[in-house]
Amino acid sequence: MTGEPVRSARSAPERLLAVLAAFDHAHPALSLTDISRRAGLSLTTAHRLVHALTTWGALERDDDGVYHVGLRLWEVAALAPRGLALRQVALPYLEDLYEATHENVQLAVRDGAQVVYIEWLSGRSAVGVHIRVGARWPLHATGVGLALLAHGDPGFQEEYCTGPLTSFTPYTITDPAHLRRTLAEVRRTGAAVSNRQITDDALSVASAVRGAGGAVVAAVSVVVPQESAQVPVLIPAVRLAARGISRALGWRPDRADA
């Protein structure tokens, strides 16, 4: 057998996507050699694909010959209904929540077993918030993740609960039975509380956002210092923001919800 069977087996679209996937929050700027190595492509193939992507505007090359993600991708991303379109609808309610709390405010959606943050308003508190737009975290370890998981398909919930639950602090939920009880409480109260699961100084309160058909499409949360958190005060504020976004998306509660 000759050549590189794993690399050559990939189709042209897969190789093109591998170039884009070489960029992430830890690697926002890459040389052509870096792209070739991270994408698992020969330098010749990487050069050809990078040139095509740069010509189209998906990548941009600076004066030092280093490549960055281009604005053309931002324009395309703006069309995503779960991305910037959702953010535009939600932003006034996120700003209201920020004005009411002056704390870190987030909006997130679920992508498989992870939560993806699509908006973040930075608060005054110096808590260890490891959040930025586009960041991903496991569902069980964040307030928004718990809110989204609690309203997910029961089969998916059970599969998630029995899978590996990554620990980030001594307080991260890693016991399946504990996670099931937590999700039941989220459904009962309409709010998720994540206490010191990612960092040992932060607490988040989250609530689910519903679309026009009633399905949960996102979650909104506020992150505050754990030692001074006033959870009974935060829960109504977060639920109000989630309800406002839901209504703006076309959701109308039935009589039972009201």
pLDDT tens figures, 204-240: 999 999 998 899 999 999 999 888 888 999 999 999 9
Question: In which band, very low, low, confident or very high, does the pLDDT at 123 lie, cut at 50, 70 and 90?
Answer: confident
What stretch(es) of the chain map to CATH 3.30.450.40? 80-249
Residues near 36 by beta carbon (within 8 Å), at least 6 away in sequence: 42, 43, 45, 46, 47
What was the pLDDT predicted at 6? 43
What was the pLDDT predicted at 255? 43
12-76: CATH architecture: Orthogonal Bundle (1.10)
What was the pLDDT predicted at 226? 84
Q: Which residue, chain included where needed, has tokens 């405010």?
A: 105
pLDDT tens figures, 139-187: 999 999 999 999 999 999 999 999 899 999 999 999 999 999 999 999 9
* Superfamily name with CATH number, domain 80-249: GAF domain (3.30.450.40)
Q: In sequence order, what are the beta bridge partners of 121?
A: 105
Q: Is 175 helix (H, G, I), strand (E, B) or coil?
A: coil
What was the pLDDT predicted at 184? 96
pLDDT tens figures, 35-69: 999 999 999 999 999 999 999 999 999 989 999 99
pTM: 0.72
Length of the chain: 258
What was the pLDDT predicted at 3? 41
What was the pLDDT predicted at 26? 81
Q: Which is nearest to 143 in space by CA: 117, 125, 170?
A: 117
pLDDT tens figures, 71-102: 888 777 766 666 667 888 899 999 999 999 98
Q: Which is nearest to 118 in space by CA: 138, 89, 140?
A: 89
Question: Taking the mean position of all CA atoms in its chain, how far away is CA 8?
Answer: 33
What stretch(es) of the chain map to CATH 1.10.10.10? 12-76
What was the pLDDT predicted at 127? 63
